[in-house]
């Protein structure tokens, strides 16, 4: 046969395959989500997320040091308060759990870049992401509390804030509050395209944030909708988001790519708790090779257009990058 074009020529050995690789990733793009809780000397495994833990503030250092040693330079904190109320006051309290955690993190691992998840669901007694009016979340009243929460996190040491509530106008409200208080250089990473997804189940177990009634479909997005996803992304860009996120990651590569093509700012994606739990369960059953699967999942997100990958497998992925298995 007289074949002029032979794609296999560029697959001949490992050096050549890596030389022509189209998708390249680095540990600096990984973000590890971490749960912190009230109490002392606590490292509590999350039943639905084997290998993931809730830490008391005094036990944070061991995990943060482990992450830094592995090459993971960014951590996103989620707080689990001891007490909750109707307005989620623990989210913006000066001595709130996540505020204490930011101060501790900056004390013990100042080289780590710390990101604050800004939402109300972990802090409200009803588990919804804002202030209730009857049985509905009041969008505009919630904006003030989200802005207060973001400000309190930055004042406690957060380097970036990431609103995940899906209220209309939250990016603009947070940007205005931070600028007013002099934090003009603090970036906002918006959960711009966040779907009402069944992939979040284990997170709600981890954070104790399941709604006590109803669901979040009136503010999180319908996963059938593509054009609405692009509208949400562009609205957040217009409001001042510095980074926009698509969540979940694995089942939404098409939208990661479309958002990437439509915008000129970095795009993040979040490989959520359900993705983690499925990999762990299948690996423990002997059905899959865990390392190969999580590497393939990560590459698929980056190939789709991800610049920043938020994942519970951050430490493992950083190790595989060092080994040359992925990157």
**Residues labelled as active-site residues:** 194, 247
Eight-class DSSP state of 250: G
Tokens of 301: 């997100």
CA dist 159 and 229 (Å) reads: 27
Q: Which helix (H) or strand (E) segment is 260 a member of?
A: helix 253-262
Name every residue whose Cβ is closer than 8 Å to that of residue 137 and which is 6 or more positions away in sequence: 128, 129, 130, 131, 167, 218, 219
DSSP symbols for 125-163: TT--SS-EETTEE-HHHHHHHHHHHHHHHHHHT-SEEEE
CA dist 111 and 22 (Å) reads: 31
CA dist 232 and 207 (Å) reads: 26
Burial label, 210 (beta-carbon count in 10 A; 0-12, 13-18, 19+): middle
């Amino acid at each position: 046969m007289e074949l002029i074009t032979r794609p296999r020529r560029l697959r001949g050995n490992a050096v050549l395959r890596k030389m022509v690789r189209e998708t390249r990733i680095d540990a600096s793009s990984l973000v590890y989500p971490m749960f912190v809780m009230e109490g002392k000397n606590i490292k509590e495994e999350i039943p639905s997320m084997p290998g993931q833990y809730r830490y008391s503030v005094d036990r944070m250092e061991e995990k943060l040091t482990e992450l830094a040693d592995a090459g993971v330079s960014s951590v996103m904190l989620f707080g689990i308060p001891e007490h909750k109320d109707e307005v989620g006051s623990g989210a913006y309290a000066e001595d709130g759990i996540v505020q204490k955690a930011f101060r501790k993190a900056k004390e013990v691992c100042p080289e780590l870049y710390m990101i604050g998840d800004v939402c109300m669901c972990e802090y409200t007694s009803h588990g919804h992401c804002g202030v209730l009016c009857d049985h509905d979340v009041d969008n505009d009243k919630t904006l003030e509390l989200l802005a207060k929460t973001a400000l309190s996190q930055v004042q406690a040491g957060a380097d970036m804030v990431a609103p995940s509530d899906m209220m209309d106008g939250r990016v603009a409200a947070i940007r205005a509050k931070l600028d007013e208080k002099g934090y003009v250089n603090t970036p906002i990473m918006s959960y711009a395209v966040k779907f009402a997804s069944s992939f979040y189940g284990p997170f709600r177990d981890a954070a104790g944030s399941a709604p006590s009634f109803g669901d979040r479909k009136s503010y999180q997005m319908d996963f059938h909708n593509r054009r609405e996803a692009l509208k949400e992304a562009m609205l957040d860009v217009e409001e001042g988001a510095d980074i926009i996120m698509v969540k979940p990651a694995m089942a939404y590569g098409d939208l990661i790519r479309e958002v990437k093509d439509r915008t000129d700012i970095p795009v993040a994606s979040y490989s959520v708790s359900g993705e983690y739990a499925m990999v762990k369960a299948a690996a423990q059953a002997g059905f899959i090779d865990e390392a190969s699967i999580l590497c393939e999942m990560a590459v698929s997100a980056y190939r789709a257009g991800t610049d920043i990958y938020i994942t519970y497998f951050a430490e493992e992925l950083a190790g595989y990058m060092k080994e040359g298995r992925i990157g």
